[in-house]
Amino acid sequence: AQSVTQLGSHVSVSEGALVLLRCNYSSSVPPYLFWYVQYPNQGLQLLLKYTSAATLVKGINGFEAEFKKSETSFHLTKPSAHMSDAAEYFCAVSGGNSGYSTLTFGKGTMLLVSP
Amino acid sequence: DTGVSQDPRHKITKRGQNVTFRCDPISEHNRLYWYRQTLGQGPEFLTYFQNEAQLEKSRLLSDRFSAERPKGSFSTLEIQRTEQGDSAMYLCASSFDVGGAREQFFGPGTRLTVL
């Protein structure tokens, strides 16, 4: 079965600092990987996705993520945090026994941005 | 394009009552998914439809949960004889199946509180 581990339930950064949110996955087949963001009382919005093309994926709002097969990782980064980035971020994987039709999510990382 | 909509946004019920939630997907999307999200956790897959066919329902949490998509458009999720453990956010998502990574678009969710 596939799974996702997000290290750190909370990450705090200062405005303008580098954002790094960690995601490790396990999958028996080449996975598709996703990062979603969730603002309070809202649904999930897709930031970016990896689908076996370029290993460095650029997404919306200045975020990017790099797929590293040897490390089974898909960490999310942003060079300079904005106050508006404060939200909960979820890494998700599809593939494996469950097929590519369903997403398996990590537990999420809450990003806190201080002025 | 108005996105995925869900109704109601909030539902408070007493234990033992039945509840039904509605999801309207993006109009051209043929796949519709239901997830449950509890506090501090990522969304958990429940079931999905391709058009009106329910392709995966083994992950529904118990036989008290059922879902329909009678005409391949909107879907309903029903929970019978609700329990306090059913309190959660219920998320709906939709996608257009064109092969490869199928980006899922999420609705705002229905928050269920069982007293």
DSSP string, chain B: ----EEE-SEEEE-TT--EEEEEE--TT--EEEEEEE-TTS--EEEEEEETTEEEE-TTSSSTTEEEE-TTSS-EEEEESS--GGG-EEEEEEEE---SSS-PPEE---EEEEE-
Overall size of chain B counted in residues: 115
Return the structure tokens found at A100.
């590519």
The residue of chain B with its CA nearest to that of A51 is B101
Dump pLDDT digits (tens) for A42-74.
Answer: 889 999 999 877 889 999 999 999 999 899 999
Of the candidates A54, A94, A55, the one whose C-alpha atom is nearest the C-alpha of residue A71 is A55
Q: What is the pLDDT of residue A108?
A: 97
Contacts of A65 in chain B (CB under 8 A): none
Dump pLDDT digits (tens) for B74-109.
Answer: 999 999 999 999 999 999 999 987 655 578 999 999
Contacts of B41 in chain A (CB under 8 A): 107-108
Q: Does B99 touch chain A (CB under 8 A)?
A: no
Q: Which among A32, A101, A106 has the least Cβ separation from residue B48?
A: A101
Contacts of B44 in chain A (CB under 8 A): 105
Q: What is the pLDDT of residue A42?
A: 83
CB atoms within 10 A of CB B10: 11
Q: Does B55 touch chain A (CB under 8 A)?
A: yes
